[in-house]
Amino acid sequence: MTGDYKFDTLSLHAGHVPDERHGSRAVPIHQTTSYVFQNTEHAAALYNQELGGHLYTRISNPTVAVLEQRIAALEGGVAATATASGMAALSTALLVLCSQGDHIVSSSRMYGANINLLENTLTRFGITTSFIDPSDLARIEKAIQPNTKLIFGEVIGNPGLDIMDVEAVGKIAAKAGIPLMLDCTFNTPWLLKPFELGANLIIHSLTKWIGGHGVAIGGAVVDGGNFDWGQNDKFPTIAGPHYAMDGINFYEEFGPAAFTAKFRAEGMYNFGPSLSPTNAFHILQGMETLPLRMQRHMDNTAKMLEFLCAHDAVAWVRHPNLADHPGHELAKRMMPRGAGSIIVFGLKGGRDAGRIFIESVELASHLANVGDAKTLVIHPASTTHSHISAEAMIEGGLSDDMIRLSVGLEDFDDIKADFEMGFRAAAKFAKTKD
């Protein structure tokens, strides 16, 4: 090897070299809870983080580790830790970073569960959040308080598709001495590598494009290793004595991977958001084809945008690759390969027409996921975002007639024909109603 492997190669290989004894080319599923220690000294060394290795699958697992190392390699991070879901990754990361009395500055335009966690759950534990329009850089900066521990947002907001200027927000966070943590589920490392623009921590729902097949739930937090946890006194449990392991100082002992060391030692130990080895295996199968699928997702998205924008039944279409999107220029600059394969649109007949459309399409599946290889549709206001307040819905850019479309990999002519059928059904309903 005379240089570093490229993205497509890493998607297939990173994290795994066939072992000498068995030579298994595929990543083996280590379906075990525990690992036999060589002796008591070896056991103590693993518990004390003197050596790498596995001691209990709640903390780490060889199959899961391959997935983690593959994600870390694709993102250009120092380390990754996989979790049972994207929400497990986010909630654990926030609890590893924040304590009672701390504050978060967050985008107001995000996935409903992300907002709920910050707005309703963490407040019960004394952690408060200021929600800010991700495009309003001045307000983001102004919202930072002395007790603010991070800025959080989604690169491509779900479902409003607002684009966050990662570089600009990263500079605001760096100036304030706090990390920028981003949910990068919608962009995947194929479209954007946020560490290169100044983000410090990345959250993924691996269930979506990275898995791509819709058979396994999983999540991950990736550590960019580019935040200096010792630059101020904001993170005393990372850059000061921690209760674990004789008052370990993660910052001094693990340097760029200090956050990951604490996430593993406290987050995985105490909260136990572990990913199952079998789910890790399934997600790895998906990752192998991530670059191929993403290219096809982008190709079909471009065709779909052209189709929807020209269609008489469609009242409006929103996607960052459309010139009328407020984040169009930013998206073009940050994500030249395309700004993801989610499109939101509304039909001329409003919410009722949307309902009939969703119930009439046959190829597109009506379900609560995105990023599947198959085309998916849903009505966010009554489903994925139904638990957030009416005010948060408006703030988040959700309208009652919005249909969220996750463009799949089918032959585009077939998706188009399916949508035409749905539009005809919606039109017929509107006529009957009249």
Partner 1 sequence: MKHQLFDTQIHIATGGRSFVNDGEALVLLHGSGQNHLTWVLQSRYFAYRGYQILAPDFPGHGLSNGTPLESIEDMADWVIALLDSLDVKTACLVGHSQGCLVAIDAAARYSDRVSRLGLIAGALTIPVNDQLLTMSDKALGKAISVMTSWGHGPMAHMHDNTQPGHSFLGYGNRLMASNHADALRNDLTACNNYNGGKAAAAKITQPALCILAASDRMTPVKFGNAMADSLVNSERVIMDGAGHMLPAERPAEVNDALRRFLAS
The binder of partner 1 chosen from 16, 30, 282, 296 (CB under 8 A): 16
Cis? peptide before 28, omega within 30° of 0: no
**Phi then psi dihedrals of residue 317, to 5 deg:** -135, 140
Residue 76 is a binding residue for partner 1 (CB under 8 A) = yes
Using the rule CB under 8 A, give the single segment among 2-10, 289-297, 300-308, 312-320 that binds partner 1. 2-10
Using the rule CB under 8 A, give the single segment among 51-59, 164-172, 305-313, 314-322 that binds partner 1. 51-59
115 in helix, strand or coil?
Answer: helix
Mark 398-427 as b/e (b = at least 16 C-beta within 10 Å): bbebbbbbbbbbbebeebbebbeebbebbb
99 burial type by CB count under 10 A (0-12 exposed, 13-18 middle, 19+ buried): middle
Stretch (H or E) spanning 330: helix 328-334
Q: At closest approach, how far in Å is the CB of 81 from partner 1?
A: 5
**One character per residue 258-297, x = contact with partner 1 (rule: CB under 8 A):** --x---x---------------------------------
Q: Which is nearer to partner 1, 44 or 215 (CB)?
A: 44
Q: At closest approach, how far in Å is the CB of 105 from partner 1?
A: 25
Residue 193 is a binding residue for partner 1 (CB under 8 A) = no
DSSP symbol at 79 = E
Using the rule CB under 8 A, give the single segment among 164-172, 248-256, 320-328, 400-408 that binds partner 1. 248-256
Q: Return left, alpha or beta for 276; rule: phi > 0 is left, psi -120 to 50 is alpha, else beta.
A: beta
Q: Which is nearer to partner 1, 4 or 434 (CB)?
A: 4
d(CA 135, CA 169): 9
The binder of partner 1 chosen from 90, 144, 180, 257 (CB under 8 A): 257
Residues that bind partner 1 (CB under 8 A): 1, 3-5, 10, 13-17, 44-45, 48-54, 60-62, 64-65, 68-70, 72-73, 76-82, 224-226, 228, 230, 245-246, 248-249, 252-257, 260, 264
